[in-house]
Amino acid sequence: MTSSSTVLLGVTGGIAAYKSAELVRGFQKAGMDVRVMMTKAATRFVAPLTFETLSGHAVHVGDRLRADFAITHIEEGNAADIFVIAPATANTLAKMAGGLADNLLAATYLAYSGTVVIAPSMNTNMWHHAATQRNVSTLRDQGVFILEPGAGELACGVYGSGRMADPDSIVAEVKHRLQVERKTDLRGLRVAITAGGTREPIDAVRFIGNRSSGKMGAALARGAFDRGARVELIKAYVDLPAAPGVREVETPTAAAMYREVIGLLPDLDVLIMAAAVADYSVVMPTGGKIGKSLEDLSVSLCPTTDILCEVALKKRPDQFIVGFAAEYGMEGLARAREKLARKHLDMIVFNDISRQDIGFNSDYNEVFILTPSSEVKVERAQKETIAEVVLDHIARGIRTLRGEPAPAG
Ligand code: CTP
């Protein structure tokens, strides 16, 4: 991003339009120049003068299109580095997904060839309606980055999802979009990534856990989203800020993670099991707190379900499954290869947990990417960089698996 990046902000007619004023300020603080385009309905919530004053530029409003008017302003739109629509109403989503061009904003979307980020906002039932969800999915396939609405109390008094992503996270996302290289090799794919470490309760306050931070899984989720995938982060105790655009679900135990993964599996193109899942759980966790009066205490453990092994039994041949192997010492590389075969994986990512300078809780990693026919070492680097290399291999791997050609360029 340069200090002269230009954002075209489209404001549509939802109550969250008042937050768009804050958004203009946020973009400006980040060094961007903002041009605003509004639908007629949006002007009933906030006057164009507000945006004119804040942005220092004329605001374009258009409900009906006059060709000369449209062409001038659409061209101006195309001069922008990024097109952000916030809030995006259900109506605007539908127009964009359907290719309608009956107002200036919708026409600009059709004519715009750059990156588009949208932050929907609407009543919770409207958001969950099959028609809206279908439109959202179509837009994702068209390469639009969607910042999903959060949950909270909505203007209509109900509690649910539909609230526009907060302006700070929209600004952060736009800054990020302007910085990243635009790889789109996972566009249209649905990817689930597990991250963190499960905790198996012993009693109400104690657990058996591990030291996984979830940084690697979170970096993969972010990277896959950047490449256009629809991403679910299935996480166990990942103490990291939410990645905008990535849907997150909390699965504290191996059993909860198993249920979530198996439930999602039929819809997935790629599954990446980066989580450290407990191999054993406590047979009968105590509801209360175990006191220390007992002289001798033993806890009975039983094996958890191996999620990857179950996935191997249930998956379709066109689904790409990636495991992780955190092994102690370099001799673990052979064990990782054995795991690749035993768990019927398309890929396994090995790292040596005996090293202090990489892996658990570190920002760095060094890995080997193994497939049934290849072995590639990725030298020590930040987990974000490692994630990019892993995703490059996954994008190529799934295309090969499906017999699809490499994208042009
Ligand atoms: N895994 C899983 N379900 C479990 C445990 C692990 O799906 N109950 C996944 C992990 O997320 C990881 C891979 O399996 O992707 C390897 O985990 P690991 O614990 O190293 O594998 P195991 O097969 O349990 O190997 P080991 O014999 O070393 O314990």
Nearest CA to ligand 1 atom 24: 279
What is the model's pLDDT at position 66? Answer: 67
Q: Which CATH number does 190-401 carry?
A: 3.40.50.10300
Residue with tokens 């949950």: 151
Does residue 168 or residue 245 have the better pLDDT? 168
325 lines ligand 1 (CB under 6 A): yes
67 pLDDT tier (thresholds 50, 70, 90) = low
pLDDT in tens, 234-269: 999 998 877 778 999 999 999 999 999 999 999 999
pLDDT in tens, 33-54: 999 999 999 999 999 999 999 9
Distance from Cα 358 to the centre of ligand 1, integer Å:
19
Q: Which helix (H) or strand (E) holds 190?
A: strand 190-196
pLDDT in tens, 82-127: 999 999 999 999 999 999 999 999 999 999 988 999 999 999 999 9
Cis peptide before 372 (omega within 30 of 0): no
The CATH homologous superfamily to which domain 6-180 belongs is Flavin prenyltransferase-like (3.40.50.1950)
What is the model's pLDDT at position 68? Answer: 66
- Pick from 71, 92, 66, 82: nearest CA to 33: 82
Give me the amino acid identity at 330. M
Asked if 156 is an active-site residue, the reply is yes
> What is the crossing angle of helices 215-226 and 383-402, to 10°?
60
Residues sharing a CB contact under 8 Å with residue 304, sequence separation 6 or more, in sequence order:
200, 254, 255, 258, 277, 278, 279, 280, 281
Specify burial of residue 284 (Cβ count, 10 A radius: 0-12, 13-18, 19+). Answer: exposed
- 403 — alpha (psi -120 to 50), left (phi > 0) or beta? left
Most informative mutation of 279, 333, 368 for ligand 1 (most atoms within 8 A of CB): 279
CATH 3.40.50.10300 residue ranges of the chain are 190-401
308 lines ligand 1 (CB under 6 A): yes
62 lines ligand 1 (CB under 6 A): no
| DSSP, res 176 | H
Least confident interval from 154-158, 296-300, 362-366: 154-158
197 lines ligand 1 (CB under 6 A): no
Does residue 268 or residue 137 have the better pLDDT? 268
Instruction: List beta partners, residue 14.
Output: none
- 125 — alpha (psi -120 to 50), left (phi > 0) or beta? alpha
Q: And the tokens for 302?
A: 């039983």
pLDDT in tens, 300-329: 999 999 999 999 999 999 999 999 998 888
Q: Which of 156, 158, 204, 205 is catalytic?
A: 156
Atom of ligand 1 nearest to the CA of 322: 15
Q: Tell me the C-alpha distance between 62 and 68, whole Å.
A: 12
Distance from Cα 308 to the centre of ligand 1, integer Å:
7
Rounded to an integer, the average pLDDT of 359-373 is 87
pTM of the model: 0.76
- Evaluate if residue 2 carries a pLDDT over 60: no
Report percent pLDDT > 90 for the chain: 69
- Pick from 62, 48, 225: nearest CA to 144: 225
Distance from Cα 352 to the centre of ligand 1, integer Å:
15
CATH 3.40.50.1950 residue ranges of the chain are 6-180
Maximum mean pLDDT: which of 282-296, 328-342, 354-368: 328-342
Q: Which helix (H) or strand (E) holds 272?
A: strand 270-273
Q: And the tokens for 191?
A: 């990817």
273 lines ligand 1 (CB under 6 A): yes
Distance from Cα 341 to the centre of ligand 1, integer Å:
13
DSSP string, 295-317: S-----EEEPP-HHHHHHHH--T
Rounded to an integer, the average pLDDT of 13-37 is 96
